[in-house]
A and B are shown apart, each in its own frame.
Chain A
Amino acid sequence: MTAQLLDVADLSVAFGPDGARLAAVKGVSFSVAPGEVLAIVGESGSGKSATAMALARLNEGPGADLSGRIGLQGREVLKLSPADLQELRGRGIAMIFQDAMSALNPCETIGDQIAEALIVHGKATRRAARTRAVELLAEVGLPEPDRRAALYPHEISGGQRQRAMIAVALACDPALLIADEPTTALDVTVQAQILALLTGLVATRNMGLILITHDLGVVAGVADRVAVMYAGRLVEAAPVEALFAAPHHPYTRDLIAAASAAPDANGQLASIPGAPPNLGSGDTGCAYAPRCRKASPRCTAERPDLAPLGTSRVACWHPENRP
């Protein structure tokens, strides 16, 4: 645990007007090592994107509080001054987003957008930054990178845009890359290419990667470790093989079952009955208890903490697949 790149402890994110803050993320702890791919999995509203944004303090501001501890390369991210934070962004930590079309500036060429990161961090002159931008576009597998660098985001295809977005994020050699649903907006074949690109980059650059997704298929393909989030909390964290072979938390099990089940006779896809709780609802007991088949009175009265179980950590009073 000493050689960790990222160490997050008890991270909470709350949104809303003063006095009526709603917690989107409640005391999440995890870590990422260099060269490791951590997948954070959860449904919409589970707090996975809020967690990802919080790592670079991108969702901080009036009406949004971050608390807890984020250690990145030994630096306390939440205690950095605005100037140090600016320095950290792009170099220590970089991010790619779901929709590259809206995440790229429509009025600037792709080359300029990559070069800008290098220029503002004082890593290159204008001219050198341009050359480097073309190299980066080549690294992310864009054909004819020198020609494409002069194009605008709307002039290339969706998959190429996401590659360009990755090149923007890679410009300053970040130690940690966060990919927030990077393939959701793409075709299946392009998805596979982008994921292969990302895992390749992790290996060659020895960079940490946090992959935010709701797609268990993606997780199984690329992740080393998986963290499952439910209603703002981490419910299970495990190496990827262990998670799929023997899920401990009933939610993880139900999620995997729902994802891998074939449609029934009526063509209906399998789903977990019930719905996740609202952000504002009470916080006693396990948030999954109302939907859980194994729920006991203890589950609604007392909240389970994340505790080691085999190679995993799980927050459940009645874990499945005990070793």
Chain B
Amino acid sequence: MTGEILRRLAFLPVTLFAVATLVFLTLRALPGSTVDMLASQFSTAGLRDQLIAQLGLDRSLWEQYLIYMSELIRLDLGRSFITGKDVSVMVWETLPVTIELAVASLIVMLIAGLGMALAAAARPGSILDGALRFIAMTLFALPWFWFGILLILVFSLWLDWLPAFGRLPSSVTYEPITNFVLIDAILQGRPDLIRPWLTHLILPSLTVGLTTAGVLMRLARSGIIETSKLDFVRTARMKGVPGRRIYLRHILRNAALGILTVIGLQFGAMLGGSVIAEVVFGYPGIGRMMVDAVLTRDYAVAQGAALVLAVFYVLVNLATDLAYRWADPRLRRKPGR
């Protein structure tokens, strides 16, 4: 098990190298430059050239790449071209926001997706099953941004129940320690933070969670139905095990292995997918930071954000694999056997 973790972690630098190179090249293939953004306030060509030299954009692509890589090896993500802020500081401020959103979305996805799957798979072919499959298919087919806007329209504009924008209202003073609101609320003894934080979190996490719940529902449902046809389920019936216990202990226990993989993959997708939700809901996470940086050609920030998301994605996949190994006795190796 430890060997497997180390083996997988050893691949992390390779993945990151590829991601870094790809992001580096893609950004520079885009037309336009930060200088256009910054220089619009200046007028002389001299100032413009000075700015280009300052940002190192006068060097050849190769030189820029080598400088970037050598900084990266020293774990230096560089500075924002526009604000001059350390990119690592910016990541530190925005990554927890995205993690909060992803975890909340995961909870929504699990409750909605697994709930629908369990109800549907208990009686395949029933009216309930058909209705739930239809709902899942619809959720699955909805574009995230569209669903987000719909939720804003209904719950924010028409019903006025929930806020549509941001992470905390500006009226609330928040001095971050960890940048996780829930943890800080406990550390600082500020229970008043939790309510506004939660109300802001509901719509974006519903957007991401419900649209991914459709996929989870369909895969979990078919997994459960497939498992219920296996021979050991017949053995359990032969033993006289009651139906409910067969469902929980034999069918779900075995179907859970496949569902675990789906959940892990979906959670990884959520990190990337929350980019859309963050933009729609003005949620100040790392995804929105990356989008803004790409739009302003703030290379260092966009590169940093992409790298951090890649690291996170790899770690989530690793965690999923390890969870799978732990859950499936056939993959668990016992010492002394």
Closest partner residue, chain B, to A118 (CB atom): B239
Query: 1/0 per position for A119-141, CB-CB distance to B under 8 A?
Result: 01100000000000000000000
Contacts of B235 in A (CB 8 A): 97, 103-105, 113, 165, 168
Contact present for B337 and A117 (CB under 8 Å): no
Among B14-22, B88-96, B226-234, which stretch is in contact with chain A?
Answer: B226-234
Among A99, A152, A165, A171, residue most surrounded by chain B Cβ atoms (within 10 Å): A152
Contacts of B337 in A (CB 8 A): 155
Closest partner residue, chain A, to B231 (CB atom): A102
Asked if A95 is at the interface of the complex by the 8 Å CB criterion, the answer is yes
Contact present for B329 and A106 (CB under 8 Å): yes
Contacts of B253 in A (CB 8 A): 105, 107-108
Question: What is the distance, in angstroms, from A297's C-beta to the closest C-beta of chain B?
Answer: 44
Known: A105-B250, A154-B330. A58 touches B234 (CB 8 A): yes
Candidates B240, B245, B249; contact of A91 at CB < 8 Å: B240
Known: A106-B254, A107-B328, A154-B330. A120 touches B232 (CB 8 A): no
Contact present for A86 and B240 (CB under 8 Å): yes
Asked if B183 is at the interface of the complex by the 8 Å CB criterion, the answer is no
Question: What is the distance, in angstroms, from B223's C-beta to the closest C-beta of chain A?
Answer: 14
Query: 1/0 per position for A291-315, CB-CB distance to B under 8 A?
Result: 0000000000000000000000000
Contact present for B237 and A168 (CB under 8 Å): no
How many chain B residues touch the partner (CB < 8 A)?
22
Question: What is the distance, in angstroms, from B328's C-beta to the closest C-beta of chain A?
Answer: 7
Contact present for B240 and A120 (CB under 8 Å): yes
Contact present for B254 and A89 (CB under 8 Å): no
Asked if A211 is at the interface of the complex by the 8 Å CB criterion, the answer is no
Closest partner residue, chain A, to B327 (CB atom): A107
B202-244 interface (Cβ within 8 A of A)? 230-232, 234-242
Contact present for A105 and B328 (CB under 8 Å): no
Contacts of A102 in B (CB 8 A): 230-232
Cα of A91 to Cα of B240 in the assembled complex, Å: 8
Known: A104-B232, A105-B250. A152 touches B238 (CB 8 A): no
Query: 1/0 per position for A153-190, CB-CB distance to B under 8 A?
Result: 01100000000010011011000000000000000000
Contact present for B238 and A89 (CB under 8 Å): yes
Question: What is the distance, in angstroms, from A89's C-beta to the closest C-beta of chain B?
Answer: 4
Cα of A117 to Cα of B328 in the assembled complex, Å: 23
Contacts of A32 in B (CB 8 A): none
A187-239 interface (Cβ within 8 A of B)? none
Contacts of A5 in B (CB 8 A): none
Contacts of A113 in B (CB 8 A): 235
Cα of A244 to Cα of B90 in the assembled complex, Å: 87
Asked if A43 is at the interface of the complex by the 8 Å CB criterion, the answer is no
Contacts of B250 in A (CB 8 A): 105
Contacts of B237 in A (CB 8 A): 58, 89
Contact present for A169 and B241 (CB under 8 Å): no
Contacts of A103 in B (CB 8 A): 231-232, 234-235
Asked if A28 is at the interface of the complex by the 8 Å CB criterion, the answer is no
Contact present for B238 and A94 (CB under 8 Å): yes
Closest partner residue, chain B, to A154 (CB atom): B330
Contact present for B239 and A168 (CB under 8 Å): yes
Contacts of A168 in B (CB 8 A): 235, 239
Known: A105-B250, A152-B329, A152-B330. A120 touches B241 (CB 8 A): yes
Contacts of A95 in B (CB 8 A): 238
Cα of A323 to Cα of B254 in the assembled complex, Å: 57
Contact present for B329 and A120 (CB under 8 Å): no
Contact present for B239 and A171 (CB under 8 Å): yes
Cα of A105 to Cα of B253 in the assembled complex, Å: 10
Question: What is the distance, in angstroms, from A99's C-beta to the closest C-beta of chain B?
Answer: 7
Candidates A94, A97, A152; contact of B239 at CB < 8 Å: A94
Cα of A152 to Cα of B239 in the assembled complex, Å: 18
Question: What is the distance, in angstroms, from B226's C-beta to the closest C-beta of chain A?
Answer: 13
Known: A107-B328, A152-B330, A155-B337. A89 touches B240 (CB 8 A): yes
Contact present for A120 and B239 (CB under 8 Å): yes
Contact present for A88 and B236 (CB under 8 Å): no
Contacts of B328 in A (CB 8 A): 107
Cα of A91 to Cα of B330 in the assembled complex, Å: 31
Asked if A87 is at the interface of the complex by the 8 Å CB criterion, the answer is yes
Closest partner residue, chain B, to A117 (CB atom): B239
Contact present for A58 and B238 (CB under 8 Å): yes
Closest partner residue, chain B, to A90 (CB atom): B240
Question: What is the distance, in angstroms, from A38's C-beta to the closest C-beta of chain B?
Answer: 19
Contacts of B236 in A (CB 8 A): 105, 116
Enumerate 14 A-B pairs (CB-CB under 8 Å) in ascending A order: A56-B238, A95-B238, A102-B231, A104-B232, A105-B235, A105-B236, A105-B254, A107-B329, A108-B253, A116-B241, A117-B241, A120-B242, A152-B330, A171-B239
Q: Which of B's residues lie within 8 Å of A, judged by CB?
A: 230-232, 234-242, 245, 249-250, 253-254, 257, 328-330, 337
Instruction: Give 6 A-B pairs besides A58-B234, A89-B240, A107-B328 with Cβ atoms closer than 8 angstroms.
Output: A90-B238, A99-B231, A103-B231, A106-B254, A116-B241, A169-B238
Give me the 4 closest cross-chain CB pairs, A-B, nearest first. Answer: A90-B240, A89-B240, A102-B231, A117-B239
